[in-house]
Amino acid sequence: MTDPYAWIKESLATIHRADWYRSVQTIHGQPGAIVLLAGQEVINFASNDYLGLAGDERLIKAAIAAIQEYGTGSTGSRLLSGHRELHRELETAIASLKQTEDAVVFSSGYLANLGAITALVGKRDLILSDQYNHSSLKNGAILSGAAVIEYPHCDVAALKTQLSQQRQNYRRCLIMTDSIFSMDGDLCPLLTLLDLADEFSCMLLVDEAHATGVLGKTGAGCVEHFGCTGRQLIQIGTLSKALGSLGGYVAGSASLIEFLRNRAPTWIYTTGLSPADTAAALAAINIVQQEPQRRVQLWRNVDYLKKLLQQQLPNLKLLPSESPILCFQLPSASEALQVGKQLRQAGIFAPAIRPPTVPTSRLRISLMATHELKHIDKLIAELNNISK
C-alpha cells in the first residue's frame, strides 16, 4: 500500500525546485514605514498600510476602548447574538464614505467577495472576470456555480465580444474586476465597464481593496476617482489595507445590502467582526475623511519615486501603474528572489512576487504616506547599485 499522504512531500519538493516556495517572515513591534524584520531594521515597501494608520494611536485607543466596553469576541453571527451598535456605526460610516445607500461588513475582504458573488449568481448565470483579478474573486466565481469566462486583462474589446456572443444564453450576468490591480498597480477601465454593463444588462462588481482611502478626492476609491459616485454598482473592499484594521465590506443600494444580509453565506454563517477590529476601522474612516493631507503625502511619494525611476533607472521594466503599487518585471523567479534578497541586505524590504500569484515574476514596491523622501532616495540608490 502506498502512503496516501506521500504526495504532499513530493509536491513540496516540486515547489522548491521551481523557486516557488514561500514562508513567513516575522515582523516585530509596530507596523510602519520602518519595521524590524527578523531583528533587522528595514525600510518597509511591502505593506498595504498605505496611510500609515495600522500603528496610529487613535486606532489603537479606539480598539482598546471597544474591548473594554464589549469584550474581545463578538460571540455569535450577526443575525444571532453577534450584532453590536458598533457594527452599524461602521456600516453607516462606510456608506457615507462611499456615498451609497448602505453597506455591510464581513470578517474579511476575501469573505466579502465569496459571500457577495455566491449570493448574486448561480448555475443559470454568467460571470465575466478580468484575468488578473484577486484570488477571492476567482474563487468566489468557482464557488457560485456560474459559468465563468476570464477576459484578457483590461481588454474591453474582448469583453464586449464575449458579451455579444454569450450574454443571451444566461439569466443574470456579473462583470467583476479589481479597481487597482493588486499585483500590477494599474486601474480597471471603469467607465467603459459601466457602459458595457448598461448595454448588456449586467451587474458590475468592483473590488476597491487597494483603492479605498487611496484614490478619489475624499478617499472613497476608484469609483470616486473616475467620477462614478452614485452609479449603480457593487463596491467591495477591505478594512485591512489603508484602513489599518481587519474585515471587509460591500457597499451599494439598500436592496442589495438587505439581500446580502439574507443570502450571503460568509456573512450569515460566520462570527461578527470583533469589537476591536470594528472600532479601529471606524476610527480609520474618520481619519480618511478628516485628514486628506495623508493622501496628498502618499501621492507625493508616488510621484517622487516615479520621477527618480524615470531619470535614473530607465532600463528597469516598470509595469504600468496609476497607484502606490509599482512593480518591476524580472526574467525569472530566481532573479526576482535574488533582487529581493540584495535589497533586504541593504535594509530594504520589497518582496519578490512569483507564480502562481502572478504569471511573470516581479519585484513589488508599495508606498505609504509615512515614507520620507530619504527612504525613497535609499531605495533608488540600492536599485542603482544592483543594476550596475
Ligand X SMILES: *Cc1c(COP(=O)(O)O)cnc(C)c1O
Positions that interact with ligand X (CB under 6 A): 108-110, 113, 134, 136, 178, 182, 207, 209-210, 238, 240, 248
Question: Least distance to ligand X from the beta carbon of 51, Å?
Answer: 15
CA distance 367 to 44: 8
Nearest-5° angle of CA 274, CA 271, CA 183?
A: 75
Shortest distance in whole angstroms from residue 109 CB to ligand X = 2
Burial (Cβ within 10 Å: 0-12, 13-18, ≥19) of residue 279: buried
In the complex with ligand X, the residue whose CB is nearer, 107 or 301, is: 107
**b/e map of 285-306 (b: 16 or more CB within 10 Å)?**
bebbeeeeebbebbeebbebbe
Least CB distance from residue 153 to ligand X, whole Å? 14
Looking at the Cβ atoms of 185 and 309, the one nearer to ligand X is: 185
Instruction: Give me the least distance between CB of 112 and ligand X, in Å please.
Output: 7
Give 242 or 308: the residue with its C-beta nearer to ligand X: 242
- Residue number closest to ligand X, CB atom: 109
Closest among 326, 354, 296, 25 to 184, alpha carbons compared: 326
Backbone angles phi, psi at 165, to 5 degrees: -80, -35
Q: Which residues pair with 127 in a beta bridge?
A: 148, 174
3-class DSSP assignment, residue 235: strand
Question: Which of 47, 113 has the CB closer to ligand X?
Answer: 113
Q: At closest approach, how far in Å is the CB of 364 from ligand X? A: 12
Going from the C-alpha of 172 to that of each of 98, 125, 131, 175, 186, the distances in angstroms are: 25, 5, 20, 10, 28
Torsion over CA: 65, 68, 73, 75 (sign): negative
Q: Which is nearer to ligand X, 151 or 200 (CB)?
A: 151
CB 278 within 8 A of CB 92: no
> 114 vs 196, which CB is nearer to ligand X?
114
Rounded least distance, CB 348 to ligand X, Å:
22
The nearer residue to ligand X, 266 or 301, going by C-beta atoms, is 266
Q: What are phi and psi of 363, to 5 degrees?
A: -100, 135
Which set of grid coordinates corresponds to residue 342?
A: 540584495
Nearer to ligand X, 90 or 383 (CB): 90
In the complex, the smallest distance separating the C-beta of residue 88 from ligand X, rounded to whole angstroms, is 20
Nearest distance, CB of residue 107 and ligand X, angstroms: 9
Q: How many CB atoms lie within 10 A of CB 380?
A: 16
Q: How far is CA 109 from CA 105, 211, 240, 332, in A?
A: 9, 13, 8, 30
